[in-house]
Structure 1
Amino acid sequence: MKNIFLKVSYDGTNYCGWQKQNNAVSIQQTLEKAISNITREDTELIASGRTDSGVHALGQVCNFKTSSNIPSQKFAYAINSKLPKDIRVIESKEVDFSFNARFSAKKKTYMYRIYNSEMANPFYYKYSMQVAKKLDMDLMSKNVNMLIGTYDWTSFYTYETNNPKNPVRTIYSADISKNNDMITFEIEGNGFLYNMVRIIVGTLIDIGLHKNERDIKQIIEKKDRLYAGATAKPQGLFLKEVCYQ
């Protein structure tokens, strides 16, 4: 048996998210079907984490066990031949049998794109969230700096029955920049709670529109979801990178 590492890029527009569901097509289901087609084995993929419906990935990581004699570096080409064009394996390799894409991950980087323009753009609507009113970039930048550190993020996640009991996470870096009308937010941490990045972005948008008088630090200290902004739309979010060292 071999343990195969895959790095995957996908456009999440046409999928219900990463995780398999009975009544919709998922990224996981589509990949597992393609792999099984190649290996003639039942395949179970383990991912670094799930992405929601409409969310994209530049560097999702997953792994699976196989007894196939296909060279590990060739799996990417073989699997891609069975995939739709909006999902691509960009790297495949054999890793230690103990490697687990979820539990071996050390940190993740997410990117969120905001199209700050009064007029919608037909080439951006699948890959950004439009905000028509002008955002205060200086104020948003000051608040982005407040994200860095180790905190209880109770104010910034959507409650689920299977959420971890410990809401403490460490953010290593956070940055926001603007190029013409496109605002790009990036955040790197040791882990993220459900909808955490999208709620942070929604809060930053409210701050940038002067709709929330509290700053990020004050909202973190409240430990109450009611003080943060709305959950930003899924299409602006990208899982950019997962690191294992």
Structure 2
Amino acid sequence: MSDPTPQPEAATHTFRLTLAYDGTDFFGWQIQPERRTIQGTLARVIRETIGEETLPQGSGRTDTGVHAFGQTVSLTLTADVPADRLHRALNRRLPSAIRILTCEAAPGFHARAGVLNKTYEYRVFPRRTPGSREERICLPHIARFAWDCRWPLQLEPMQQAATALIGTHDFSSFAARDPDRTRRAEESGEPLNNIRTIFASEWLQQDNLLIYRVTGTGFLHHMVRNIVGTCVEIGASRIPADSISAILAAKQRGAAGVTAPPQGLHMMQVVYRDHPTTEGATT
């Protein structure tokens, strides 16, 4: 006769990881059948190393070809493994395109809960400088991580556009269609909310690159890439520099510029309300 006494649930141990990855050869973060993804690769390596089936949770989804210097991940295991040993063991098995920068015990932590802000960078390699017909060569090790842009770009109007994005706005004009988000909203009965707050938005020149750095409460699907594409069109004099207010007011994706390619986008840092920030790698 079986014992009717309920068995206590196994204790769990939660870890906070900071990941850097080269997303070139991956189909984004989120696990997908028959496709190589960051989340799927990490889950497989955990299974092979620890012997547990678990799905690590990221602070957000990065798309195919997008990179990270500071993706935050929460991981829950039943195995009582010291964080330093887990860190070493996983890095030994992970492909060289993925590296765990930090690993620490973090009871109660979840990568998608309590996020204060996120920071992204986007890198553009302009082949030509304004007023010149000569083209510079974007070397292969740069091309994997930047937009090799054929247009000469004026930095000042791009900065003007970036500054106009600071504040709380409806960013529908910079949001790509997201079927998963639409489905979740329909199931919950709540309308889609495309209002976000941008705390910092600026273009910088670093060596041969133009770098867009943006920090906000959160970002819609393709939002940063659509902002960059619009700023680049402004820098190329295809869109007026003072058009950001009108683009935001339109609340229509067609009002903004092109979508920048994925390889220039880098997730840099996630800051949490109740957990100290762990710095990612530096460039």
Letter in structure 2 aligned against 1:173: A
Q: Which residue of 2 aligns with 1:132?
A: 150
Q: Which moved more, 1:6-15 or 1:71-80?
A: 71-80
Q: Which moved more, 1:148-157 or 1:160-169?
A: 160-169
CA shift for structure 1 position 209: 0.6
CA shift for structure 1 position 129: 0.1
1:217 aligns with 2:235: no
1:239 equivalent among 267, 270, 277: 267
TM-score, scaled relative to structure 2: 0.83
CA shift for structure 1 position 212: 1.2
CA shift for structure 1 position 179: 2.4
Per-residue CA shift, 1:195-244, capped at 9, x if unaligned?
00000000001111111135222211111111111110000000000111
CA shift for structure 1 position 174: 1.0
What secondary structure sits across from 2:179 in the alignment? coil
Q: Which residue of 1 aligns with 2:169?
A: 151
1:96 aligns with 2:123: no
Q: Which residue of 1 aligns with 2:257?
A: 229
1:61 aligns with 2:61: no
Structure 1 gap ranges (5+)? none
1:111 equivalent among 121, 126, 134: 121
What secondary structure sits across from 2:168 in the alignment? strand
Q: Radius of gyration: which is bigger?
A: 2
What secondary structure sits across from 1:13 in the alignment? coil
User: Does structure 2 conserve the Cα–Cα contact (< 8 Å) formed by 1:74 and 1:92?
Assistant: no
CA shift for structure 1 position 103: 2.3
CA RMSD, aligned part only?
1.2
CA distance in 2, matches of 1:122, 1:87: 19
Q: Which residue of 2 aligns with 1:123?
A: 141
CA distance in 1, matches of 2:102, 2:194: 32
CA shift for structure 1 position 35: 1.2
- Indicate the percent of aligned positions where both proteins have the same amino acid: 34
2:218 equivalent among 191, 204, 208: 191
CA distance in 2, matches of 1:137, 1:74: 47
Which aligned runs of 4 or more in structure 1 are off by greater than 3 angstroms? Answer: none
Per-residue CA shift, 1:9-57, capped at 9, x if unaligned?
0000110010111131000011011112222111111110110110000
What secondary structure sits across from 1:106 in the alignment? strand
TM-score, scaled relative to structure 1: 0.96
Q: How many residues align?
A: 244
2:24 equivalent among 13, 34, 37: 13
CA distance in 2, matches of 1:126, 1:169: 29
Letter in structure 2 aligned against 1:136: Q
CA shift for structure 1 position 93: 0.8
Structure 2 gap ranges (5+)? 1-11, 128-134, 186-191, 274-283
CA distance in 1, matches of 2:41, 2:114: 24
CA shift for structure 1 position 96: 2.2
CA distance in 2, matches of 1:11, 1:180: 21
Per-residue CA shift, 1:52-77, capped at 9, x if unaligned?
11000000011121121210233211
CA shift for structure 1 position 191: 0.3
Per-residue CA shift, 1:66-111, capped at 9, x if unaligned?
12121023321111011011100011111122x2101222210000
1:24 aligns with 2:38: no
CA shift for structure 1 position 122: 2.1
What secondary structure sits across from 2:247 in the alignment? helix
Letter in structure 2 aligned against 1:33: R
